[in-house]
Amino acid sequence: MAIKLIVGLGNPGKDYQSHRHNVGFWFCDALANLYSATFKKESKFSGDVTQVTISGLSVRLLKPNTFMNRSGRSIQALAKFYQLDAVEILVVHDELDLDFGTAKLKAEGGHGGHNGLRDTIKALSTKSFYRLRLGIGHPGDKSQVADYVLHAPNKSELTQIQNAMTDALQVIDDVVKGDTDKAMKNLHTKD
């Protein structure tokens, strides 16, 4: 099944843009940049939306303006409006359980404590959507997670995150075309 919507999870506003929690936004920005697309605010979807053509297929990019914990509202509004099935959606998010520089593609699954995913699962009433997980490392202690995700990565971490995004951008054509097995094989197999 082809992907028709790519959602980057993050928090809106200048205060949050450099935070680890916003790597989903960064990925959507990189994708929009790659295809010379510009986001515009769409109040009916509570988010910033643009459209790109990847491998001949029309794909919408969405950055919810609802803050991380309410991401599902924005995703559900757009999916409902364009009559998209959950399996046609790719959600891009930060992943504490992956090291910096790691990008993993996943078909469905739980939320793993990620509030943006938790709200998306609730809003779509299913776990059956694709995820692109971008590693941001773990602070080491559960009690430090909230503070950790709301801070900017250091220079070396940022470089590694950017490398992971580059790796993911190289397989996005296959992901969009629905050839997720090929995309996973290429993304998950490092030289």
Give the residue numbers marked as catalytic.
Answer: 21
Cα distances from 29 to residues 61, 97, 124, 162, in angstroms, run 9, 23, 24, 12
Q: How many of the other CB atoms lie within 10 Å of CB of 166? A: 11
HSE (CB half, 13 Å, CA atoms) of 149?
A: 24
DSSP three-state, residue 98: coil
Are 122 and 72 a contacting pair, CB within 8 Å? yes
Residue 63 and residue 68: Cα distance in Å, rounded? 10
Nearest in space to 65 (alpha carbons), one of 81, 80, 46, 84: 46
Distance CA 101, CA 110 (A): 22
